[in-house]
Amino acid sequence: MSRLRLQKFLSQAGICSRREGEVHIATGRVRVNGCVVTTLGTKIDPDSDVVELDGRVVAGQGERIYIALHKPAGYVTSCRQADEKLVLDLVPIPQRIYPVGRLDKDSTGLLLLTNDGRLHQRLSHPSFDHEKEYEVTVERPMAEGALAHMARGLPMMGRRTRPARLRRITARRFRIVLQEGRNRQVRRMVRKVGGRVIMLKRIRVANIRLGKLPEGAWRHLTRTERRHLLAGIDDP
């Protein structure tokens, strides 16, 4: 295995965030092969070096966790935010996990959570072109021209949105498939064509579907889902 920065190793092991790891290192709480290390940026070999935090050996990342959650409205995807309900509170497991991507507070639907930093990098990078599908309910019926305009792409935040696929369900409901994920993108697109979103649910990320998972419930991804999601990532 390639060498890792010490704070990154602590984070991947599920002990703390990288920033918290830097504090632990700077305050002398971390030892490598019996020696206290206080230099930030120190690199270690996870296969051969022994890392301790407060005298306890830190194991490697161990089992990687991949979870699908049906996020309810009113929850935020931040790991920490004062006076807010957190999505992490809905998944009471001992491992430290974090959300992959975001859903705004008022939106519902599929949210992936993991302790695998490789997956976050994969799904956050635009070169992977993974799809995200949403079911949208708007305040008033939308004309076909408005849907076509969104499908072609709209100027937004300094550049044009990529082409999208849309399918009407009713006069006030449609599904949209995006290959990008700008901040509140669907809501902004609808507003650009004169509409207003009143309900937004994400029903798919790449090959993972929300299905009939109830609001607030979660499940581990199946082996097949993990294999397809991680295809192309070394050492899955």
Strands 197-205 and 75-76: unpaired
Task: Reduce the DSSP state of residue 27 to 3 states and report it.
Answer: coil
Q: How far apart (Å, rounded) are the C-alpha atoms in residues 100 and 117? A: 9
Are the C-beta atoms of 199 and 136 separated by less than 8 Å?
yes
How many other C-beta atoms lie within 10 A of the C-beta of residue 5? 17
Are the C-beta atoms of 188 and 153 separated by less than 8 Å?
no
Q: How far apart (Å, rounded) are the C-alpha atoms in residues 35 and 183? A: 45
Q: Residue 185's closest CA among 164, 207, 167, 216?
A: 164
Q: How far apart (Å, rounded) are the C-alpha atoms in residues 32 and 35? A: 5
Catalytic option among 45, 47, 54, 104: 104
Q: How far apart (Å, rounded) are the C-alpha atoms in residues 190 and 188? A: 5
How many other C-beta atoms lie within 10 A of the C-beta of residue 34? 7
**Tokens (6 digits) for 29:** 């709480």
How many other C-beta atoms lie within 10 A of the C-beta of residue 130? 20
Residue 104 among the catalytic residues: yes
Q: Which residues are catalytic?
A: 104
